[in-house]
Amino acid sequence: MDTVRWIVTTAPEIFLLLAIAIGTILGRIRIRGFSIGTTACILIVAVLIGQLGSFTFPPVLRAVLFSLFVFTIGYRSGPEFFASLSVRTLAQVGLALVIGATGLVLVLVFARVFTLDTGTAAGLTAGALTQSSVIGTASGALAQLGLPSDVLKQQEANIAAGYAVTYVLGYILTLLFVPFVAPRLMRIDLKAEAKKLEAELAGGAPPKTENLSYRKFQARAYRISASAGRSVAAIEAEIGSRTVVERIVRGGTDVKPQPDTVLETGDDIVVTGPTAAIVAAKPVLGAEIDAGELLRNLPGNVIEVLVENRDLHGRSLREIVDRLGENTRGVFLRALTRMGREVPLSPDTRVYIGDVMTLVGSAGNIARATTQVGHALNTSDRTDIAFLAVGIAAGLLAGLASFKVGTVALTLGGGGGALIAGLVCGWLRTRKPGIGAMPPAAQQTLSDLGLGGFIAAVGLGNGLAAWSAIQAHGLLLVGMGIVVTLVPMTVGTLVAYYVLRMNPVVTCGALAGAMTVDAAVTGACDVAESQTPVLGVAVPYAVGNVVLTVLGPIVVAATFTG
């Protein structure tokens, strides 16, 4: 045991890394499809390891780790957050605000009724509202109050205790509420409503399984006979489905396809578009030919494009095609993903900033369309470390600013400042794609490492005091946590459905987004037997990340008594 204590004193970073590793492994374990999650597991493991002795970590380590995490959240959510400030997404923004405001009121009521200290109130907020970043912003706000070191340490321990007790329960309740309770409150059958929404998105027709008209794209070659004397525009219009004549070869010479170009007998043409439409076009064009050389010389591409054009935010695919006009010629959408989940495709499917389009077509056509939509994702992109470092530094500097609310100096702290900086940098990246590159894989790594390291440092450094706080307030925290988790979602569901008139299927996805529990979307999709709940996730998730994170300093200012 003496050896262990010596290691704790000499190299506490070893236990920090062990807590991250063990917590991450435990967080991946699924029992009947359910897992607690890595964040909660890392904290629990860290608190338990913290019983071995007194761990001390430099404040700068925790500040850097948390700043990396919260800056990445802002960077990822920035484009969606600023684009969500529009009439088209106002209802979804409203739902996220209702949930955050209701949760805040409940925490403050409990703090007054049960005389909760500031740390416990902040931990309750972080855990019950399932937003881990509140731990950092609340800790940062407490550090600005000039408290004695022993008092500050106890408050941080109480934050960890409140979070550890309420997070797992809040997470589970959210997973159950979204697919099962919310539909009952709205008095709807989620599966039936999802089918109805699919039909509406398909223009009233029964939904097409697998959306084959979008997914199956081909280029084929034909020798003109039946269509001789007709223009390219007339042939494309008759075939339909946005089919495009990509190439015309006449007597061994290329002829540039223009809408008014008239085809002649014997012309070899290449037609691109949905497979079903092209195959059915044989009587219109003539005999299909084996023209490998024609097709080999037609460069094709399948490219993932990040949606960044604010003018497209909240618009349907039909509206986007009409808006972009000729820029979409010869370009087809094979898939649309939102927060890593595939979105059902139809002409009325709405697109949001941050979505990823998988575009299919010739290289030239895709390049033209990409400039109108956003920028192509390149897995070989390297993170712009200079942009990242300057952005976080600017955020930390902004976090030093404070203003008085009564006798308390209210400040965002370093975490809140880094969040705001991340939002601005993420938005700036959409305006100037040449700077600030941070590929999705890098974002996930920085987020996981930053949050995991910060949570482990909090748990280890406050393990002994946190365990005592859990033993003293455990049952009370459980009861308050249940209320703070369920009541905001209940109020949010009723307001969204009966006041904001949101579609009930979209409401379920929006609830998961506003609580930032994306796993709840999977449950809603499973119950609905449809991917349509994903349609409501993006905007509330971006707004919820910001709104819930800034609750940390607000709770500190409202509950601190000096």
Q: How far apart are CA 297 and CA 294, in angstroms?
A: 5
Is a pLDDT exceeding 70 seen at residue 105?
A: yes
Strand partners, 306: 356, 375
- With a pLDDT cut of 90, the percent of the chain lying above it is 23
In 374-439, where does DSSP find H-type helix? 385-398, 413-431
User: What pLDDT is stored for residue 95 in this prediction?
Assistant: 95
The pTM score is: 0.72
For the segment 150-167, what is each residue's pLDDT rounded down to a tens digit? 898 889 888 988 888 888
Give the torsion sign (CA, 100, 105, 111, 113). Answer: negative
pLDDT over 50 at 330, yes or no: yes
Relative to beta strand 268-274, strand 244-250 is antiparallel
Q: With the CA atoms of 278, 279, 281 and 282 taken in that order, what torsion angle do they form, in degrees rounded to the nearest 10?
A: 130
Q: Note the pLDDT tens digit of each residue in 358-384.
A: 887 777 778 888 888 888 876 556 788
Strands 356-362, 315-316: pairing is unpaired
Q: How far apart are CA 262 and CA 231, in angstroms?
A: 4
Q: Which residues contact 124 (CB under 8 A, 6 or more apart)?
A: 107, 110, 116, 162, 166, 477, 480, 481, 484
Query: Is the pLDDT reported for residue 450 higher than 80?
Result: yes
Per-residue DSSP letters for 295-333?
HHTS-EEEEEEEE--GGGTTEEHHHHHHHHGGGGTTEEE
- 215: pLDDT strictly greater than 50: no
* Fold adopted by 217-297: Alpha-Beta Plaits (3.30.70)
Whole-number Cα distances in Å, 112 to 100, 195, 348, 431, 560: 19, 46, 48, 46, 11
Instruction: Judge contact between 497 and 53, C-beta under 8 A.
Output: no
User: What pLDDT, on a 0 to 100 scale, did the predictor assign at position 183?
Assistant: 95
286-288 and 217-224 strand pairing: antiparallel
Least confident range of 311-320, 323-332, 364-373, 525-534: 323-332
Higher pLDDT, 242 or 155: 155
Asked if 271 contacts 238 with a C-beta cutoff of 8 angstroms, the reply is no
- Non-local (6+) Cβ contacts of 13 within 8 A are 57
pLDDT value of position 210: 38
Sequence ranges of the domains in the chain:
1-60+88-198+442-537, 217-297, 301-361
Average pLDDT over residues 511-536: 87
Q: What is the pLDDT of residue 489?
A: 97
Read off the pLDDT of each residue in 237-246 and give the average, rounded to a whole number.
Answer: 76
Element spanning 241, H or E:
none
Phi, psi of 333 (to 5 degrees): -95, 115
Select the more confidently predicted residue: 435 or 180. Answer: 180
Q: CA 497, 519, 120, 421 torsion: positive or negative?
A: negative
Which stretch of 133-142, 238-247, 286-295, 469-478 has the lowest confidence by average pLDDT?
A: 286-295
The domain covering 301-361 belongs, at the CATH homologous superfamily level, to: Regulator of K+ conductance, C-terminal domain (3.30.70.1450)
Tokens of 409: 């100096």
The answer on pLDDT for 406 being more than 70 is no
222 in Cβ contact with 268 (< 8 Å): yes
Task: Name residue, tokens 């307030």.
Answer: 473
Question: Residue range 407-426: average pLDDT?
Answer: 77
